[in-house]
């Protein structure tokens, strides 16, 4: 960071002392830490790279993990088989009204898979490839919306995108045949989750790097003005899905910390860190932590008597919240610093309970106390 950058920052703080700093919200009230995620039942064996889950029209559960999408069925979703395979990692999922499965594939684009396994693709929108598809949603009339997190990095390199402070995400719409793609929004701060409101009139959108949740009105393949529903979330939001009790289930793949926020402000340190240190050891959020003695310690006492303190500063964390229509948290499930199910990227309600995807542990979890009747 050069002299001019420091000077401009100091002048800004003097001239605009009351400018909102977006302080990290406190974890209290409905966000008070608990161990609910760690008491959930794991569904079968771990799924390497588990990323998203969605319920099919027949009640089965589709889960993306690595280069595959699995179909889980039966009591407790114990039965599983491979539904589709790809050349790159599969991520965001949605079921189209006509029954096809929509799959976000890293570096390739959006795939639509029918019952016979045939695949149709959307690879580009406008003058740019669909290189970083993160989430997809479809309306009752067949219109498809897909978010592209970054124009510079694939989904696997999300931490690089965060440290580069990019805002190159896009929201794209296309018809049911994956043709006529239209770029609706640009310069988004890593859009990660999409959900159609139950009334079908709004699309909800998360942006991970700006820690915010927004909504736009739907007009076919067009949208109205964006309305920010919550501009200061406590973590990096991932995907969201409607909740039967009202509102949405919103997942967080990591919590914000003062250390990472500090690094993002100090450009000189951040650039040198990226240039000289292995990315595994950067001061960035993580989907899982505690297994490498070289990982950065986020100050404070991390362990006592060989046990990682649940109240230690988090490098990784597990969090799912239920939010109301105003974007306020009304319920939360946690896996604290000493827990096992961190890096939550998706949650959805099923007839058997609330299904939660912990990408950090590679586990699909089931909470039978919550779910559709």
Output the average pLDDT for the chain. Answer: 91
pTM, rounded to two decimals: 0.91
Alpha-carbon distance of 100 to 79, in angstroms, equals 21
- Phi, psi angle pair for 232, to nearest 5°: -150, 75
Choice between 371 and 179, residue whose per-residue pLDDT is larger = 179
Query: Do residues 65 and 51 lie in contact, with contact meaning Cβ atoms separated by under 8 Å?
Result: yes
- The β-bridge partners of 69 are 64, 84
Picking from 134, 143, 245, 140, the residue whose alpha carbon sits closest to that of residue 188 is 134
Compute the average pLDDT of residues 53-69: 96
Which tens digits make up the pLDDT trace of 158-203?
Answer: 999 999 999 999 999 999 999 999 999 999 999 999 999 998 999 9
What pLDDT is recorded for position 6? 58
Which tens digits make up the pLDDT trace of 228-237?
Answer: 999 999 999 9
Q: What secondary structure letter does DSSP report for 265?
A: H
Query: Do residues 147 and 133 lie in contact, with contact meaning Cβ atoms separated by under 8 Å?
Result: yes
What pLDDT is recorded for position 94? 98
What pLDDT is recorded for position 14? 62
Compute the average pLDDT of residues 242-269: 94
What pLDDT is recorded for position 312? 72
pLDDT classification of 23: cutoffs 50, 70, 90: confident
**H or E element that contains 51:** strand 50-55
**H or E element that contains 262:** helix 258-265
| Alpha-carbon distance values, 44 to 59, 71, 77, 336 (Å) | 18, 12, 8, 23
Compute the average pLDDT of residues 211-228: 91
Query: Do residues 358 and 344 lie in contact, with contact meaning Cβ atoms separated by under 8 Å?
Result: yes
pLDDT classification of 75: cutoffs 50, 70, 90: very high
What pLDDT is recorded for position 301? 56
Residue-range domains of the chain with CATH: 34-286+309-367 (2.120.10.30)
Q: What secondary structure letter does DSSP report for 74?
A: S
What pLDDT is recorded for position 159? 96
What pLDDT is recorded for position 219? 84
What pLDDT is recorded for position 220? 77
Compute the average pLDDT of residues 133-160: 97
Residue 18 has pLDDT above 50, yes or no: no
- β pairing state of 222-230 and 212-219: antiparallel
Which tens digits make up the pLDDT trace of 266-311?
Answer: 999 999 999 999 998 999 999 998 777 777 765 555 666 666 667 6
pLDDT classification of 19: cutoffs 50, 70, 90: very low
Which tens digits make up the pLDDT trace of 83-125?
Answer: 999 999 999 999 999 999 999 999 999 999 998 889 999 999 9
- β pairing state of 212-219 and 61-65: unpaired
Which tens digits make up the pLDDT trace of 115-137?
Answer: 888 999 999 998 899 999 999 99
What pLDDT is recorded for position 373? 53
Compute the average pLDDT of residues 68-75: 96
- The β-bridge partners of 65 are 50, 68
């Amino acid at each position: 960071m050069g002299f001019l950058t420091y000077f401009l920052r100091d002048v800004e703080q003097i001239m605009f002392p009351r400018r909102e700093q977006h302080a990290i919200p406190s974890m209290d009230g409905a966000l008070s830490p608990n161990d609910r995620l760690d008491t959930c039942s794991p569904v079968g064996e771990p799924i390497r790279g588990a990323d998203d889950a969605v319920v099919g029209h027949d009640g089965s559960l589709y889960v993306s993990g690595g280069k595959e999408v699995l179909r889980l069925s039966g009591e407790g979703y114990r039965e599983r088989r491979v539904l589709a395979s790809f050349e790159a990692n599969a991520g965001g999922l949605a079921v189209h009204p006509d029954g096809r499965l929509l799959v976000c594939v890293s570096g390739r684009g959006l795939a639509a898979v029918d019952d016979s396994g045939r695949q149709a693709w959307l690879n580009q929108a406008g003058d740019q490839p669909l290189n970083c598809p993160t989430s997809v949603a479809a309306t009752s009339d067949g219109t498809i919306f897909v978010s592209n997190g970054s124009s510079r990095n694939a989904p696997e390199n999300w931490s690089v995108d965060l440290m580069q402070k990019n805002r190159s995400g896009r929201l794209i719409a296309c018809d049911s045949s994956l043709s006529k793609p239209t770029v609706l929004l640009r310069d988004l701060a890593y859009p990660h989750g999409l959900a159609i409101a139950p009334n079908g009139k709004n699309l909800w959108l998360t942006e991970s790097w700006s820690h915010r949740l927004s909504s736009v009105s739907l007009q076919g393949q067009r949208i109205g003005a964006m309305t920010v529903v919550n501009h200061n979330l406590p973590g990096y939001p991932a995907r969201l899905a409607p909740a039967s009790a009202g509102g949405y289930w919103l997942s967080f793949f990591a919590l914000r910390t003062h250390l990472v926020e500090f690094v993002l402000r100090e450009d000189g340190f951040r650039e040198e860190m990226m240039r000289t240190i292995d990315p595994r050891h950067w001061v960035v959020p993580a989907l899982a932590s505690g297994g490498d003695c070289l990982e950065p310690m986020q100050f404070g006492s991390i362990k006592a008597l060989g046990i990682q303190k649940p109240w230690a500063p988090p490098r990784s964390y597990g969090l799912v919240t239920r939010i109301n229509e105003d974007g306020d948290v009304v319920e939360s499930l946690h896996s604290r610093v000493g827990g096992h199910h961190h890096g939550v990227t998706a949650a959805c309600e099923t007839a058997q309970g609330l299904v939660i995807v912990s990408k950090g542990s590679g586990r699909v979890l089931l909470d039978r106390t919550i779910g559709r009747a």
